[in-house]
Amino acid sequence: MDEKKIGKLKKLFDDVIHISEDGAIEFWYARELQPLLGYSRWENFELVIKKAMISCENAGGNVNDHFRGVTKMIKFECKREIKRV
């Protein structure tokens, strides 16, 4: 992959990065990464996330250190929570 393309991809990921309040942890929300990685449907992307979690576990990693389930309030008339990974 050429340097120019790598730079563009890095900027896309940097634009949606989140940093913990103490500044110690960088993280991303799956729903924000989904379109960047070319997935139009959440269901398809969720399957990929589940496979990545299995691979992490098979490699001896702690899944909870790398994949955190979170919810976020979104503005709807009913104010329901949606799952964010």
Average pLDDT, the chain: 89
Q: What is the pTM of this model?
A: 0.73
pLDDT: is 61 or 77 the higher one?
Answer: 61
* Res. 24: pLDDT tops 90: yes
Name the percent of the chain lying above pLDDT 70: 85
The per-residue pLDDT for 70 is 82
Task: List, in sequence order, the alpha helices (H) in the chain.
Answer: 3-15, 30-36, 42-58, 63-66
* Res. 40: pLDDT tops 90: yes
* Res. 18: pLDDT tops 70: yes
Q: How far apart are CA 46 and CA 67, in angstroms?
A: 12
Tokens standing for residue 64: 């909870």
